[in-house]
């Protein structure tokens, strides 16, 4: 794999011209984001050593169907606190840059697919459209009985677990828990985007949770150019064409600046 190598862009002014040309000329763009994109909005990631959610909580106790069955009150209370935190946070320059890139590509007659593992809907609030939410949304809650689904953008629930207004059964966050299947149509669309793109951006993800983590290899297997943007090295860094070391807000904003001024 002819890699253009790793670039620490946290301090440098400009990104490599060859990279900007690839972004400029791409006709079919697929982007996959992870929790790192929302970190600069104040939403904790999962695996960052000191601040990640999984360094404070055991996912088995909160993010599995078994945990919900064993303690629905604790699980729904924890998710509702995270739901309200997401609503209080604002999209950052990285979310806005991806929404701008989608518009630039659309105006140029190219295709652009944004795939996210995040459940916070900050991409939507930044203006991105057609977002593929591989792991669902923490703003949506569904009834375990009748399937009633509603987006909750308001105050805390009156009780935990919240009850369904239609059938009275318990409601849970409409996110994918460990051991659950991803929504098939969403995964299919994401896989198709990764298999047909000519440019794949992996932004702010540790790339360790499958099947999402496999999309970068699908893109590579179909000869797409792949750019990774991350503060740290990941398991994918050596397989991509450009591994940009920097914050997603800074690097994505710089890509847009250089694209617009190209
Ligand atoms: P992780 O917490 O595993 O990884 C976050 C990544 O973002 C790390 O590689 C960080 O180095 C990087 N990062 C942190 N701040 C950044 C910044 N400002 N700019 C760029 N990169 C930054 O989060 P995910 O990879 O999203 O799944 O985790 C994937 C899945 O594991 C989540 O969707 C969730 C979790 O368990 C489920 O809950 C099913």
Band (pLDDT 50/70/90 cuts) for residue 7 is confident
Band (pLDDT 50/70/90 cuts) for residue 37 is very high
Which residue bears the tokens 């790793």? 6
Range 185-191 contact pairs with CB under 8 angstroms and sequence separation of 24 or more: 186/132, 186/133, 186/134, 187/134, 187/211, 189/113, 189/132, 190/30, 190/32, 190/113, 190/115, 190/132, 190/134, 190/215, 191/215, 191/218
What pLDDT, on the 0 to 100 scale, is given for residue 2?
Answer: 40
**Position 120 pLDDT exceeds 70:** yes
Give the lowest-confidence range in 56-65, 76-85, 213-222: 56-65
Beta bridge partners of 149: 142
What pLDDT, on the 0 to 100 scale, is given for residue 6?
Answer: 72
Average pLDDT rounded to a whole number, residues 128-151: 98
| Structure confidence by residue, pLDDT tens digits, 154-163 | 899 999 999 9
Q: What residues contact 262, with CB distance under 8 A and at least 6 apart? A: 20, 21, 24
CB 167 within 8 A of CB 148: yes
Q: 46 C-alpha to center of ligand 1: Å?
A: 6
**Position 224 pLDDT exceeds 50:** yes
CB 142 within 8 A of CB 171: yes
Nearest CA to ligand 1 atom 38: 177
* 46 CA closest ligand 1 atom index: 2
Locate 138 and state its tokens.
């923490």
* 35 CA closest ligand 1 atom index: 26
**CA dihedral in degrees (253, 256, 258, 262; nearest 10)?**
-170
Q: How many Å apart are CA 67 and CA 54, to the nearest integer?
A: 15
Question: Residues enclosing ligand 1, CB less than 6 A?
Answer: 34-36, 39-40, 45-48, 52, 63, 117, 135, 176, 178, 204-206, 209, 229-232, 234, 247-248
**Position 1 pLDDT exceeds 60:** no
Choose which residue among 31, 41, 48 to substitute to test ligand 1 binding: the one with the highest number of ligand atoms within 8 A of its C-beta: 48
| Structure confidence by residue, pLDDT tens digits, 157-185 | 999 999 999 999 999 999 999 999 999 99
Q: 39 C-alpha to center of ligand 1: Å?
A: 9
Average pLDDT along the chain: 94
Give yes or no: 135 in active site: yes
What pLDDT, on the 0 to 100 scale, is given for residue 54?
Answer: 83
| Of residues 209, 211, 35, the one with CA closest to residue 120 | 35
Average pLDDT rounded to a whole number, residues 59-86: 95
Nearest CA to ligand 1 atom 19: 247
| Of residues 151, 134, 133, the one with CA closest to residue 142 | 151
**Position 56 pLDDT exceeds 90:** no
Choose which residue among 206, 213, 235, 251 to substitute to test ligand 1 binding: the one with the highest number of ligand atoms within 8 A of its C-beta: 206
* Catalytic pick among 135, 192, 222, 241: 135
Band (pLDDT 50/70/90 cuts) for residue 58 is confident
Q: Give φ, ψ of 62 to 5 degrees.
A: -135, -30
Band (pLDDT 50/70/90 cuts) for residue 36 is very high
**Position 3 pLDDT exceeds 60:** no
Q: How many Å apart are CA 229 and CA 36, to the nearest integer?
A: 9
| Of residues 200, 250, 249, 246, the one with CA closest to residue 223 | 200
Please state the three-class secondary structure of 158-211 as a single string. CCCCCECCCCCCEEEEEECCCCCCCCHHHHHHHHHHHHHCCEEEEECCCCCCCC
Nearest CA to ligand 1 atom 14: 36
Choose which residue among 183, 205, 212, 246 to substitute to test ligand 1 binding: the one with the highest number of ligand atoms within 8 A of its C-beta: 205
Q: What residues contact 188, with CB distance under 8 A and at least 6 apart? A: none
């Amino acid at each position: 794999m002819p890699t253009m190598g790793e670039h620490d862009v946290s301090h440098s002014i400009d990104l490599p011209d060859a990279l900007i040309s690839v972004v400029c000329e791409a006709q079919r763009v697929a982007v996959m984001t992870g929790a790192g994109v929302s970190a600069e909005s104040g939403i904790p990631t999962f695996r960052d050593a000191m601040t990640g959610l999984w360094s404070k909580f055991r996912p088995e106790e909160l993010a599995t169907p078994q945990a919900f069955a064993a303690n629905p009150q604790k699980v729904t209370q924890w998710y509702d606190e995270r739901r309200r935190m997401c609503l209080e946070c604002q999209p950052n320059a990285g979310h806005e840059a991806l929404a701008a890139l989608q518009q630039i590509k659309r105006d140029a007659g190219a295709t652009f697919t944004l795939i996210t593992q995040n459940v916070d809907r900050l991409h939507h609030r930044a203006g991105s459209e057609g977002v593929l939410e591989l792991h669902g949304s923490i703003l949506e809650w569904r009834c375990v009985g009748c399937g009633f689904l509603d987006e909750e953008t308001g105050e805390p629930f009156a009780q935990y677990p919240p009850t369904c207004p239609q059938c009275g059964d318990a409601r849970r966050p409409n996110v994918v828990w460990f051991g659950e299947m991803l929504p098939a149509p969403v995964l299919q669309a994401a896989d198709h985007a990764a298999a047909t793109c000519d440019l794949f951006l992996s932004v702010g993800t540790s790339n360790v949770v499958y099947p999402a983590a496999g999309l970068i290899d699908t893109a590579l297997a179909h000869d797409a150019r792949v750019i990774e943007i991350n503060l740290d090295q990941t398991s994918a860094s050596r397989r991509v064409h450009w591994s940009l070391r920097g914050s997603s807000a800074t690097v994505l904003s710089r890509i847009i600046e250089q694209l617009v001024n190209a």
